[in-house]
Each structure stands twice: as C-alpha cells, then as structure tokens.
C-alpha cells in the first residue's frame, strides 16, 4: 500500500471519533426532547448520564429544563473528548488513537452492564475502524520515521531575526511506493516547494507513468530514472552471458562462485543456435566430458589438500570441508567451460537497466538476447514506463563487424604466444607530479598549472615528503583521496578465463577483452599434477580445443561456450592510480585466488617501477608475482 492510501486509511480511522461523538450527541438530544428511548449507536457514558439526569428531573419537576441542560453539557464534554482524540489522531498522533480507543473500550464494557448487546456490537464495529487507522499510522511511521523535531515545520533559532526550516531526513520506502513513484517524487522537488512526503502522497502509479512518459521519454530527462532502483534475480544463465550482464559500470552484482560451490554434471547451457545443428552432439558430449572430468578431479584434489591442511581438534566434517573447499576447488574450476550455468543478483537504477537491456538485445548470442527480453519483461512490472523503449541498437550490432579480422591459425590448444603476459603499454611519466599538483590545488590557493610547473623542478626529497603526507596515514580499510585519479595506466594482459571472470568485476576500470578462444593456450595448476590428474587434464583440454575449432569454423561466438576456465584470454584495460590501489590491495590478499594474486602483484610491480613514490604505499602482502607463479602453476 502506498503513502497516499495509508494516509487515507489513517484519516478514515481517525474520523470515526467524530462519528462516535456526533451520533452520541444526536442520541442525547433525541432522548431528552423527542422520546425517552435511545439508539444503540450512542456512547454508554452519555446514555448513563442521560438516564441519571432524567431520574433526577423526575424528583424535581420545577427544574427539569435545568437538569436536562446540565446533562447535555456533561454529554457535550464527554463527546468533546472524542472530538479532540479524532483531531489529534488525524494529525498522526498515536497517543490520540490509543487513549481514544481505551475510553471507547471502557464504554463498550459499560454497554454490557446494561446489558445492550446491539450497542456492544456497534462498539466493536467502530473499534475495528479505529484500529485500522492506528495500523495505517504505524506503517507510515515505518516508512517515514518522524521525531519530535521533524514534526515541526520551523524551529526558533537563538536570534529572533528569522526562523530557519528544520532539517528532516527520512526514507521514501519501496515498501509503500513504487520505484517510478519515488523517481517522480525526487524529480518534482526541482520545481515544487512541497516536501517529498507531500509530493509522494499526491502521486499514483498512473500519474507517475504519465510524468515519465512526458519528461524522461519525451524530453530526454534520463537522470530522473536513476532514482528508480530494481533488484533482479537471474538464475541458470551461462557464465559467458554473465559477461554481458555484468558489463554495466554503474550496477551492482553478486554471482555464484566457482571457488565456494561445486557444479553438478548437468549444469551447462546448450546454445539455442545449436538446435538441430550437426555439431550439437559434439558440443554436448564435450561439455559432459568437461563436467565429468571436473567432478572426477574433486576427490583426488581434496585428498591432496587434506594431506597439506590438518583438521582442527573437534572440527566437524562440514566445517572442515568449508574451510578447505576453495583450496581444492580453485584448481578444479579450470575445467569448467563458459557454458557453466550460474545465478546472479543485479541491482541497478532504471536508466542503467534500460541501457543494459538494449545491450543484451543487441548481442550476437541468442541466449543473451533472450535474457534481455526476460529482464525487460520482469522490470516492466515495477518500472513499466522507464524501460519499455529499450530495444536493439544497430550501432552496437554493426560497428564491430568493420573492425573484425580473420582469426589466427589454430594451434590446437597448445602453448600461448611467447610475448610477456602483462605489459604496461601506456602511462604518464609526469603522473606523480599530476597527483601532487591536484592535491596542492585542492588544499591550497595556487592554480593547477602553476603547481605542476613548480613540481617539475622540486627536489626528490620534497616530493617524497609530499607522497608521505598524501598517503602515509592510509589505513588498511581507507580509500585514497580522489586526486590519485589524475594519473592512469594502460595494460595488456593475458590471464586464464577463470581469473578474467573475477577481473571483469572491477568495472571502474575500462576493460576491453578479446573474444574467448582456445588459441592462447591454457594454464595448468601445480595441484593438478600433484594429485595425479595431469593426463586427464591435458586430454580434456585438447578435446575442448578441437571442439572449439569445429564450432568456430561455423560461429566463433557460439564456439566460446565450450572454452574451459583454464584457457587464456587477452584483455586491454586502463585504470587510474586510485583504482589501482583498490584492485591490487583486494586481489593480492591471502584469501584471493592465486590467478588474481599473480595478476595483482604483477600490476603493482609495474606501477611501482614507473611511479614508486606513490605506488610504494600500496598495502600488499610480502610476496612476488614470480613466487606465486612458480608455487601454483606448472604452466601458464
């Protein structure tokens, strides 16, 4: 129920106090001046006073009018108590509801003494409506919490020269308002002096839809859509499709982990494009082979880890498995293909979501296009206007074709090219000075150009002092100042697909991956050989590469589904120094996957090489990427 409906329910409940008072007074007037009978709808208190006044008047015939008048005044006082309760209850005062209902409840007991069962029934009827008003008030307070100060529209300051509006901070809760209504409430504040509560209270879903149709769709005020936020659950989609879904920088995602969960033997996608195709059976049999090999590897890999990791005293089997699982699954996951099915949760505003849907609808893979249609359908339940025009974008569909090149000759899934796997291909030699100049600009009075020019002739000792001032106080969980974003680095990286699945989550970078293939070779974790599983591993990797080539001759996009996590992929990425701190510190931590630790330490080493004054303040474990590579990889 939205705020407007709750407010109506509150007032409707509160107005019952007026009905109780009004009907009781009418009952008393009828009793004194028309008939000696009364109706069941009146208050028991007033009926008792009326009867008492009538009996006293019988004893004093000369004072009947006076006694009746006194009785009516007492009735008016009793009824006024309920009128006051109704007034304050309609203003959202909980005490008014509670006290009024308590008095009316006592009055109901009085009707039973009479006994007046019909009157008691009417009391229950009114109590129900009063209670519904109280419920509405409680729900409103959950949605928009109020404090004593927030109920005042103005507060007096120490000076008597002016009154300053009081600060109010509260939620517009999606429990009561649709995402589109919340977006309109925020949008209208640019032209309306009313509070957000008042704006939202006047809106309905229909009015909100008309607003978005006119301003967001018609006039292109897309920023309004950013206030409508949705949480979308996406289940049983391929990890290849996840790459497109998660390619939106300003959304948030959590997905099924290949490190902490185990896949079953049927958890892979059969691409719609293969329906009825001669290669369908080859694809399915290769997927089954990969998954069966993955399942077969779990037990010998676990036994290996058990020998290396002792069980704690009184540690339960489930607890022990949870503690060591990532250690053996981290190596087994290299066998899982991109067709593996995963679940993910996505949180995005409607502006981002419209763009995400359009990207999916423009994707070359049928699975991704189908997901786009389903996401659009689901999203329209909550934001029917803001995403309804999401559709295919010819620009996205056609541009890539002009830049495509003939594929390289296959190498059968063998070794990768002999170039370095991590190359810092572009950076700003003056990057550290740019960061220092930005900090001096922020906290000083000089211009950026002047600061930069002075820094170019500043002695190294002074620059070292600046670096310490800028980053020396940085704690383990602190984020560096934004001025570190004034210098950037571009890398070309080759890493295994399993590592790329984690790498892609760092969306503050600019990432450009090449298509997933088997042509850059594959990595072999040391534990594969230590567990005696190396022959099976190489055999199934070669089988996957052969199937990939057969599929790639027909459709390279579909062929990517069969590529296991162990195969390498080339990625171009650019990031600023601030993001480099976040990436390197997170992915080099001891609990990170060894593929990512190797990448993070190498990237950090390259940045330290060119910008040591600042990069030396990265808080990284004391290990080198070369040591990680030799410890965990037999082949990369």
pLDDT in the model for residue 146: 46
Place of tokens 């052969």: 546
Compare 438 and 122 and report the one with higher pLDDT: 438
Q: How many angstroms separate the CA atoms of 163 and 156, rounded?
A: 5
Burial class from Cβ neighbours inside 10 Å (0-12, 13-18, 19+) for residue 99 reads: middle
- For the cut 80, the answer to whether the pLDDT of residue 115 exceeds it is no
252-255 and 422-427: which strand pairing? unpaired
Q: Using one digit for the tens of pLDDT, what is the confidence trace for 277-325?
A: 999 999 999 999 999 999 999 999 999 999 999 889 888 988 898 889 8
Calculate the average pLDDT of the chain: 88
pLDDT in the model for residue 43: 80
Question: Could you tell me the CA-to-CA distances from 29 to 34, 84, 635 in Å, in that order?
Answer: 8, 21, 100
- For the cut 60, the answer to whether the pLDDT of residue 412 exceeds it is no
Highest mean pLDDT among 179-183, 305-309, 339-343: 339-343
Question: What torsion, rounded to 10 degrees, do the Cα atoms 307, 312, 316, 319 define?
Answer: -80
- Please tell me whether residue 60 adopts helix, strand or coil conformation: coil
HEC string of 308-340 equals HCCCCCCCCHHHHHHHHHHHHHHHHHHHCECCE
DSSP lists the bridge partners of residue 254 as: 345
pLDDT in the model for residue 152: 39
- For the cut 80, the answer to whether the pLDDT of residue 193 exceeds it is yes
For 92, left (φ over 0), alpha (ψ -120 to 50), or beta? Answer: left
The encoded tokens of residue 195 equal 């509070």
Q: How many angstroms separate the CA atoms of 292 and 284, rounded?
A: 12
Mean pLDDT of 125-141: 85
Q: How many angstroms separate the CA atoms of 496 and 565, rounded?
A: 6
pLDDT in the model for residue 150: 42
Mean pLDDT of 140-159: 49
The encoded tokens of residue 409 equal 């000759």
pLDDT band at residue 468 using 50, 70 and 90 as cut-offs: very high
pLDDT band at residue 170 using 50, 70 and 90 as cut-offs: confident
Domain ranges for the chain, please list them: 3-143
- For the cut 90, the answer to whether the pLDDT of residue 57 exceeds it is no
pLDDT in the model for residue 161: 55
- For the cut 80, the answer to whether the pLDDT of residue 58 exceeds it is no
HEC string of 138-203 equals HHHHHHCCCCCCCCCCEEECCCCCCEEECCCCCCCCCCCCCHHHHHHHHHHCCCCCCCHHHHHHCC
Task: Give the helix ranges, DSSP H, for 472-593.
Answer: 497-503, 526-530, 534-554, 556-559, 577-587
Query: What is the pTM for the complete model shown?
Result: 0.75
Q: Which of 233-237, 385-389, 466-470, 491-495 has the lowest mean pLDDT?
A: 385-389
Mean pLDDT of 369-373: 97
pLDDT in the model for residue 143: 66
């Amino acid at each position: 129920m939205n705020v407007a409906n709750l407010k109506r329910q509150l007032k409707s409940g509160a107005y019952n106090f007026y009905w109780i008072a009004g009907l009781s007074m009418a009952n008393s007037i009828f009793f004194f001046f028309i008939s000696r009978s009364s109706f069941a709808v009146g208050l028991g208190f007033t009926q008792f006073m009326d009867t008492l006044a009538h009996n006293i008047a019988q004893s004093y015939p000369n004072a009947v009018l006076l006694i009746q008048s006194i009785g009516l005044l007492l009735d008016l006082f009793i009824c006024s108590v309920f009128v006051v309760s109704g007034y304050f209850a309609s203003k959202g005062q909980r005490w008014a509801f509670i006290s009024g209902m308590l008095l009316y409840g006592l009055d109901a007991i009085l009707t039973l003494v009479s006994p007046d069962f019909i009157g008691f029934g009417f009391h229950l009827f009114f109590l129900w409506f009063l209670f519904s008003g109280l419920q509405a008030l409680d729900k409103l307070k959950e949605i928009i919490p109020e404090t004593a100060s927030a109920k005042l529209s103005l507060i007096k300051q120490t000076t008597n020269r002016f009154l300053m509006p009081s600060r109010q901070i509260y939620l517009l809760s999606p429990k009561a308002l649709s995402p589109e209504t919340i977006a309109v409430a925020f949008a209208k504040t640019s032209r309306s002096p009313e509070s957000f509560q008042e704006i939202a209270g006047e809106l309905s879903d229909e009015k909100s839809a008309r607003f978005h149709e006119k301003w967001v769709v018609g006039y292109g005020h897309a920023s309004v859509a950013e206030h409508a936020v949705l949480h979308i659950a996406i289940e049983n989609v391929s990890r290849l499709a996840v790459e497109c879904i998660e390619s939106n920088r300003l959304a948030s995602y959590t997905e099924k982990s290949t490190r902490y969960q185990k896949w079953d033997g049927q958890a892979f996608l059969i691409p719609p494009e293969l329906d009825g195709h001669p290669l369908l059976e080859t694809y399915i049999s290769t997927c089954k082979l990969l998954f069966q090999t993955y399942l077969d590897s779990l037990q010998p890999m676990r036994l290996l880890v058990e020998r290396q990791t002792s069980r704690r005293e009184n540690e339960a089997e489930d607890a022990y498995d949870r503690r060591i699982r990532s250690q053996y699954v981290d190596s087994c996951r290299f066998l899982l293909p991109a067709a593996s099915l995963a679940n993910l949760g996505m949180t995005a505003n409607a502006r981002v979501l419209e763009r995400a849907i359009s990207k999916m609808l423009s994707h070359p893979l049928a699975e991704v296009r189908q997901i786009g249609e389903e996401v659009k359908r689901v999203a329209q339940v909550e934001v029917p206007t803001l995403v309804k025009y999401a559709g295919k974008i010819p620009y996205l569909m056609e541009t890539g074709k002009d830049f495509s090149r003939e594929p390289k000759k296959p190498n059968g899934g063998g070794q990768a090219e002999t170039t370095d796997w991590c190359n810092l291909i572009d950076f700003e030699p003056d990057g550290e000075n740019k960061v220092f100049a930005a900090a001096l600009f922020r906290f000083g009075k000089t211009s950026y150009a002047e600061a930069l020019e002075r820094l170019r002739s500043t002695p190294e000792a002074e620059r070292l002092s600046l670096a310490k001032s800028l980053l020396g106080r940085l704690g383990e969980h602190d984020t560096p100042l934004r001025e570190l974003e004034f210098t950037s680095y571009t890398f070309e990286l080759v890493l295994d697909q399993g590592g790329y699945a984690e790498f892609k989550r760092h969306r503050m970078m600019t990432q450009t991956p090449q298509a997933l293939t088997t042509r850059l070779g594959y990595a072999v974790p040391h534990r594969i050989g230590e567990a005696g599983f190396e022959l099976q591993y190489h055999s199934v990797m070669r089988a996957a590469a052969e199937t990939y080539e057969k599929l790639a001759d027909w459709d390279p996009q579909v062929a990517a589904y069969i590529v296991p996590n162990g195969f390498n992929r080339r990625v171009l990425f650019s990031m600023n120094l601030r993001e480099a701190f976040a990436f390197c510190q997170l992915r080099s931590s001891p609990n990170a996957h060894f593929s990512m630790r190797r990448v993070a330490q190498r990237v950090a080493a390259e940045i330290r090489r060119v910008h040591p004054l600042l990069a030396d303040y990265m808080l990284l474990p004391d290990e080198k990427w070369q040591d990680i590579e030799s410890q965990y990889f037999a082949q990369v």
